[in-house]
Amino acid sequence: MSATMSNAHTRVPKNPLFREPSLLGGAPREIEFRDAIREAMSEEMRRDKRVFLLGEEVAQYDGAYKVSKGMLAEFGERRIIDTPISESGFAGMAIGAAAMGLRPIVEFMSWSFSLVAADPILNNAPKMLYMSGGQLGCPIVFRGNDGAGGQLGSTHSWAVEGLFSNVPGVKIVIPSCPADAKGLLKTAIRDDDPVFFLESERLLSVKGHVPEAEYLIPFGHAIVRRTGTHCTLASWGRPVIFCMEAAEILAKEGIDCEVIDLRTVRPLDLPTVVESVRKTNCAVVVDQSWSFASPGSELASQIHKACFDDLDNFVHRVHADDVPTPYSSKLEQEYLPNVRKICEAVRSATYRA
Amino acid sequence: MPIEITMPRLSDTMEAGTVIKWNVKEGDAVKSGSVVADIETDKATMEMQCFDDGRMAAILVEAGKQVKVGTLIALVALEGEDIASVKDSVKANGGAKPASAPAAKSATATAASSTTTAVNQPDNRYGMEEFSPASEDGPRMRVSPVARRIAEEHGIDVRSVRGTGPAGRVIKRDVEQALENRASAGATAKSSTITTSHALAVSTGGVQTPGSPLSLSLPGRDVALSGMRQTIARRLVESKTSIPHYQVTMKFDMDRLLEMRTTFNGKLASSGVKLSVNDFLIRACALAMAEHPYFNASFAGDHVRIHEVVNIGIAISLPAEKGGGLVVGVIRDADHKSLRQISLEAKALGEKARTKGLSVQDMSDATFTISNLGMFGVEHFTAIINPPNSAILACGAAVAQPVVRNGALVVGTQMQATLSLDHRVIDGAMAAQYLASLKEFIEEPETLVV
């Protein structure tokens, strides 16, 4: 999957490094999603001595998913820190370090485990600037695997964006491809606010072109992955891939879908979606979190408000089913937003069911 | 609990109604079936009945005021209920409750003009006893927001569009289809957009729209549009801008028909039947349908509907002292009715229209319309098609004039009649053939009797 065009609406980013990776020149360079994340962290650690990584098994074991492979050798044990199995403890400690001027990256082996650190990450980090009257910031990145799909069972398959996007003060980034992962993570590390960076365990081995040249991708800047005229598919993270597959199938049926990758759900790039819906008069939102009070329901609501007179049907939504994540592989695939569900939603939304 | 009386929906297209007159005062006893008010709809004025016994506790919408269908207009206190406390509860709630937020807006918007309406229109102009309370729950129009917007932008009445979405919802492709049909029908999209949306503004706003800048700069007197005038404005602009009209005229020798009429009326005088020329024309037009079904048809977007029944509409003008205007009464199954029956029904319709007013039933389902100005001495005119008809016949007076018969100049009585036709349904040659059939019936009037 590669970006085929940049945003049509023009908002010129301030940072000259804000560049669309697909528009950068250079030799083709296919690397894995996990490599892209490591490159982002390593580049930023070389650039800024205040940046350090901590988490369970990130140092000596090279990371539970080999994301931080080789980083201990390069940066040493003062900057690549193995922690005890105590999310509440090391997340809280890192928040204190951020308040004091360092720029920690906290790896959660799974975002499912971040729930035991709910108080520091939701109650302390996002409110630090506000509650200290601007005296203390919290430039921190929490990152790790999010979402189901790997038969990890109900308790280890959280898509935490459904819960966490409700909190003011957090930034939530959900990349769908290696190039975006690198550019967005570098932006996250340079951001002065807490950023929740949600990776998918299912995507870590996915390869994609990542340009050699340095670039950052701004937050709140969606990208149109595929242009179309009949229906807007809006998604983020792994389901973007399902949307692209669904769009191929639907194109054979004569339904021309436009696929928008939001990249970040907070901030949410509504203008790009609105521009598309004004053209297609039809929208389907695909979100891997549960439907009730989710980023998907929020986006649908905002589309209804901004595009009321442009809609030919109500905004359809595809989510994970409203049950705990099943362990069975077949049930788990059926539970997630998948290509079949997306196709059905688009046919219904375009009155071609 | 007091009984709430809301503005009823008295016709399929009614969106708002004006209380013309209250027949009871607050405190008066009312009983089930008693007529409490006269309501003017977009089509006619009807009597509104009360369905409960009690006393009129509060009148919330004064005479002359137009409100949206569903708006609370009065409260009836049942036996044992205290009128004063019912009234107080209304005051506490802020008086008349509009049906919805936009309704409140339209009620305010029309308030200014309805004062004039009340003054200009005599009470109980065409009061009417029959209406079905069940029609209050008329089917709701389902239209997707973008379909509604596109329709408005292009001056298309969404009510005329067939919805293909769930539950008949009108969706984008339906309006686009309607636009395509209109374009292929040869209508100039640009001009119709302007005129139609203008007419819609008139009918929905209920207020005279400053359409012509000329009328504003000169001194004059503004006459508010009655519901009927609004309907005429809306429907005829719609007809004239969306239907590709053309006209075909023919002359008919009337001598034998007039002779027959005199004979019949002489014999029927004792039975109170007096056949008019128009009665003969109604029967002739109806009988001609058998050979020319497309004159009894409606254009419906992607197809033409040929009707099984022949219902002839007759244009009836209302006297100026009754507020003027024009209604179309309908003679149902006119092809199966004798001259005598047609005559009796036409006369009854005319009288009812001029005195009490026609019911919705009396005015519905015409499949062809006749307009006759012969009685006013008009020899020739053209009429605007009454949608969804495909044709209308405009008849002039039967006039004695020099005619050439068998090579000799003689005095003959002739009538000119002009068909206005929807070219999407009927071509010129078809119109000529229909007029030829009509000519046979009229010039050999025995055929109308058998």
Q: Say yes or no to pLDDT of A335 above 80.
A: yes
Mean pLDDT of A114-137: 96
The structure tokens listed for A124 are 């302390």
HSE-CB for A131 with a 13 A CA cutoff: 10
B240 in reach of chain A (CB within 8 A): no
Render pLDDT for B85-131 as a digit per residue (tens, 0 to 9). Answer: 777 777 666 555 554 433 333 333 333 333 333 333 333 333 333 33
Q: Say yes or no to pLDDT of A4 above 70.
A: no
Q: Say yes or no to pLDDT of B365 above 50.
A: yes
CB contact (8 A) between residue A351 and residue B148: no
Read off the pLDDT band of B324 (50, 70, 90).
confident
CB contact (8 A) between residue B171 and residue A311: no
For residue B149, what is the nearest residue in chain A, using CA coordinates?
A: A309
Read off the pLDDT band of B200 (50, 70, 90).
very low
For residue A308, what is the nearest residue in chain B, using CA coordinates?
A: B145
A interface test, pick of B143, B162, B172 with most A CB neighbours within 10 Å? B172
Read off the pLDDT band of B193 (50, 70, 90).
very low
CB contact (8 A) between residue B144 and residue A311: yes
For residue B151, what is the nearest residue in chain A, using CA coordinates?
A: A309
Other residues' Cβ atoms within 10 Å of the Cβ of residue A345: 22
Nearest-by-Cβ selection for A311 from B146, B165, B173: B146
Q: What integer pLDDT is reported at residue B231 of this predicted model? A: 82
Tell me how far apart the alpha carbons of residues A310 and A289 are, in angstroms, rounded to a whole number.
Answer: 27
B162 in reach of chain A (CB within 8 A): no
Q: Say yes or no to pLDDT of A14 above 80.
A: no
Q: Say yes or no to pLDDT of B10 above 90.
A: no
A interface test, pick of B146, B164, B176, B177 with most A CB neighbours within 10 Å? B146
The complex scores an ipTM of 0.78
Q: Say yes or no to pLDDT of B258 above 70.
A: yes
Q: Show the 3-state SS of chain B.
A: CCEEEECCCCCCCCCEEEEEEECCCCCCEECCCCEEEEEECCCCEEEEECCCCEEEEEECCCCCCEEECCCEEEEEECCCCCHHHHHHHHHHHCCCCCCCHHHHHHHHHHHHHHHHHHHHCCCCCCCCCCCCHHHHHCCCCCECHHHHHHHHHCCCCHHHCCCCCHHHCECHHHHHHHHHHHHHCCCCHHHHHHHHHHHHHHHHHCCCCCCCHHHHHCCCCCCCCCHHHHHHHHHHHHHHHHCCEEEEEEEEECHHHHHHHHHHHHHHHHHCCCCCHHHHHHHHHHHHCCCCHHHHEEECCCCEEECCCCCEEEEEECCHHHCCCEEEEEECCHHHCCHHHHHHHHHHHHHHHHHCCCCHHHHCCCCEEEEECHHHCCCCCCCCCCCCCCEEEEEEEEEEEEEEECCEEEEEEEEEEEEEEECCCCCHHHHHHHHHHHHHHHHCHHHHCC
Q: How far is CA B383 from CA B42, B235, B371, B418, B422, in A?
A: 22, 13, 7, 8, 12
Please give the model's pTM, rounded to 2 decimal places.
0.54
B interface test, pick of A280, A307, A313 with most B CB neighbours within 10 Å? A313
Q: What integer pLDDT is reported at residue B205 of this predicted model? A: 32
Domains in chain B (CATH in brackets) are 3-132 (2.40.50.100), 137-213+222-232 (4.10.320.10), 245-448 (3.30.559.10)
Nearest-by-Cβ selection for A311 from B145, B164, B166: B145
B173 in reach of chain A (CB within 8 A): yes
> How many Cβ pairs within 8 Å bridge chains A and B?
27
In chain B, which residues have their Cβ closer than 8 Å to the Cβ of A308? 145
Other residues' Cβ atoms within 10 Å of the Cβ of residue B118: 18
Question: Bigger pLDDT: B81 or B362?
Answer: B362
Render pLDDT for A69-112 as a digit per residue (tens, 0 to 9). Answer: 999 999 999 999 999 999 999 999 999 999 999 999 999 999 99
Chain A residues contacting B via beta carbons under 8 Å: 281, 308-313, 351
Closest CA to B242 of B392, B391, B422, B382: B422
B167 in reach of chain A (CB within 8 A): no
Tell me how far apart the alpha carbons of residues B43 and B11 are, in angstroms, rounded to a whole number.
Answer: 8
Render pLDDT for A202-220 as a digit per residue (tens, 0 to 9). Answer: 999 999 999 999 999 999 9
User: What's the full length of chain B, in residues?
Assistant: 450
Question: Bigger pLDDT: A146 or B78?
Answer: A146
B165 in reach of chain A (CB within 8 A): yes
Tell me how far apart the alpha carbons of residues A62 and A68 are, in angstroms, rounded to a whole number.
Answer: 5
Q: What integer pLDDT is reported at residue B103 of this predicted model? A: 37
Minimum mean pLDDT among A276-290, B206-220, B296-310: which range?
A: B206-220
Q: Say yes or no to pLDDT of B253 above 80.
A: yes
Q: What integer pLDDT is reported at residue B9 of this predicted model? A: 78
Tell me how far apart the alpha carbons of residues A2 and B437 are, in angstroms, rounded to a whole number.
Answer: 72
For residue A311, what is the nearest residue in chain B, using CA coordinates?
A: B146
The structure tokens listed for A86 are 């105590």
CB contact (8 A) between residue A351 and residue B164: yes
Chain B, window 102-161: residues with a beta carbon less than 8 angstroms from a chain A beta carbon = 144-149
Three-class secondary structure of residue A65 per DSSP: coil
Q: Which residues contact B387 (CB under 8 A, 6 or more apart)?
A: B235, B238, B239, B243
Residue A233 burial (10 A CB sphere; 0-12, 13-18, 19+): buried
Cβ contact A317:A287 at 8 Å: yes
User: Catalytic positions of A, please?
Assistant: 87, 156
CB contact (8 A) between residue B144 and residue A308: no
For residue B163, what is the nearest residue in chain A, using CA coordinates?
A: A351
In chain A, which residues have their Cβ closer than 8 Å to the Cβ of B145? 308-312
CB contact (8 A) between residue A309 and residue B145: yes
Q: What integer pLDDT is reported at residue B118 of this predicted model? A: 35
Whole-number average pLDDT of chain A: 95
Read off the pLDDT band of A39 (50, 70, 90).
very high
Render pLDDT for A292-332 as a digit per residue (tens, 0 to 9). Answer: 999 999 999 999 999 999 999 999 999 999 999 999 999 99
CB contact (8 A) between residue A281 and residue B173: no
For residue B166, what is the nearest residue in chain A, using CA coordinates?
A: A351
Read off the pLDDT band of A60 (50, 70, 90).
very high
Other residues' Cβ atoms within 10 Å of the Cβ of residue B338: 12
End-to-end CA distance of chain B: 63
For residue B146, what is the nearest residue in chain A, using CA coordinates?
A: A310
Q: How far is CA B77 from CA A16, B61, B82, in A?
A: 75, 17, 7
Q: Say yes or no to pLDDT of A260 above 60.
A: yes
Could you identify the residue written with the tokens 């970006």? A3
**CA distance to partner chain A, nearest, from residue B334 (Å):** 43
Read off the pLDDT band of A11 (50, 70, 90).
low
Nearest-by-Cβ selection for A281 from B165, B166, B172: B172
B172 in reach of chain A (CB within 8 A): yes
**CA distance to partner chain B, nearest, from residue A125 (Å):** 43
Q: What integer pLDDT is reported at residue B235 of this predicted model? A: 86
Read off the pLDDT band of B38 (50, 70, 90).
confident
How far out from the chain centre does Cα B233 lie? 11
Q: Say yes or no to pLDDT of B210 above 80.
A: no
Read off the pLDDT band of A166 (50, 70, 90).
very high
**CA distance to partner chain B, nearest, from residue A311 (Å):** 5
Q: Say yes or no to pLDDT of B218 above 80.
A: no
Read off the pLDDT band of B224 (50, 70, 90).
confident
In chain B, which residues have their Cβ closer than 8 Å to the Cβ of A254? none
Domains in chain A (CATH in brackets) are 22-209 (3.40.50.970), 223-349 (3.40.50.920)
